[in-house]
Amino acid sequence: MSANPFFEDWTTPFGLPPFDRIAPEHFAPAFQRGLEEHRADIAALAADPRPADFANTIEALERSGRLLRKVGRVFWNLASADTNADLQAIEREMSPKLAAHYAAIYMDAALFARVEAVKGSAAGLDDERARVLELVHKDFVRAGARLAPAQKERMAQIVERLAALSTQFGQNVLKDEADFVLELGADDVAGLSEQLKASAARTAKERGLACAYAITLSRSHVEPFLESSTRRDLREAVFNAFSARGARGGATDNHAIIAEIVALRAERAHLLGYKTYAHYKLDNTMARTPAAVRDLLDRVWERGRARAMRELAEMQEIADEQGANDPIAAHDWRYYAERLRERKFAIDDAEAKNYFRLDEVRAAAFDVAGKLFGLSFEERHGLPVYHPDVRVFEARDRAGRHVALFLADDFARSSKRSGAWMSAYRSQEKLDGDVRPIIVNVLNVAKPGPGEAALLSIDEARTLFHEFGHALHGMLSDVTFPRIAGTSVSSDFVELPSQLYEHWLTQPQVLRAFARHARTGEAMPEELLSRILAARTFNQGFATVEYCSSAYVDLDFHALEHPAKADAKAFTQARLAAINMPAQIAMRHATPHFAHVFSGEGYAAGYYSYLWSEVLDADAFEAFAETGDIFNKDVAARLRDYIYAAGGRREPADAYTAFRGRLPSADALLRKRGLLEASAEA
| Active-site residue flag, 467 | yes
In the three-class reduction of DSSP (H, G, I as helix; E, B as strand; rest coil), residue 43 is classed as: helix
Q: Virtual CA dihedral for 159, 161, 167, 168, nearest 10 degrees?
A: -160
In the three-class reduction of DSSP (H, G, I as helix; E, B as strand; rest coil), residue 214 is classed as: strand
Q: Virtual CA dihedral for 472, 474, 479, 481, nearest 10 degrees?
A: 170
In the three-class reduction of DSSP (H, G, I as helix; E, B as strand; rest coil), residue 408 is classed as: strand
- C-alpha to C-alpha distance for 11 and 546, rounded to whole angstroms: 47
Helix axes 290-321, 540-558, angle to 10 degrees: 140
C-alpha dist (Å) from residue 116 to 38, 122, 129, 427, 662: 21, 10, 15, 27, 34
Q: Furthest-apart CA pair in the chain: how many Å?
A: 83
CA angle 457, 462, 466 (to 5 degrees): 150
From the candidates 128, 177, 338, 467, which is the catalytic residue?
467
Q: What are the strands of the beta sheet with 421-426, ordered from one edge?
A: 376-380, 391-396, 402-411, 438-445, 421-426
The answer to whether the beta carbons of residues 106 and 137 sit under 8 Å apart is no
In the three-class reduction of DSSP (H, G, I as helix; E, B as strand; rest coil), residue 479 is classed as: coil
530: how many CB neighbours lie within 10 A of its CB? 13
CA proximity to 424, closest of 9, 69, 19 = 69
CA proximity to 158, closest of 141, 140, 143, 173 = 143
The partner residues of 431 in beta bridges, in order of sequence, read: 433
Kindly tell me the sign of the dihedral angle through the C-alpha atoms of 587, 498, 102, 290. negative
Q: How do beta strands 402-411 and 438-445 pair?
A: parallel
- C-alpha to C-alpha distance for 465 and 361, rounded to whole angstroms: 8
The answer to whether the beta carbons of residues 557 and 262 sit under 8 Å apart is yes
The answer to whether the beta carbons of residues 619 and 602 sit under 8 Å apart is no
Q: SS3 for 29-40, per residue?
A: HHHHHHHHHHHH
| Helix and strand totals (H; E) in the chain | 27, 7
Q: Virtual CA dihedral for 566, 567, 568, 572, nearest 10 degrees?
A: -100
- C-alpha to C-alpha distance for 354 and 515, rounded to whole angstroms: 9
Kindly tell me the sign of the dihedral angle through the C-alpha atoms of 466, 607, 601, 647. positive
CA angle 416, 420, 425 (to 5 degrees): 75
CA proximity to 111, closest of 141, 131, 132, 135 = 141
133: how many CB neighbours lie within 10 A of its CB? 20
Compute the residue count for the chain.
682
- C-alpha to C-alpha distance for 50 and 299, rounded to whole angstroms: 54
Q: Tell me the Cα Rg of the chain.
A: 25
Active site residues: 467
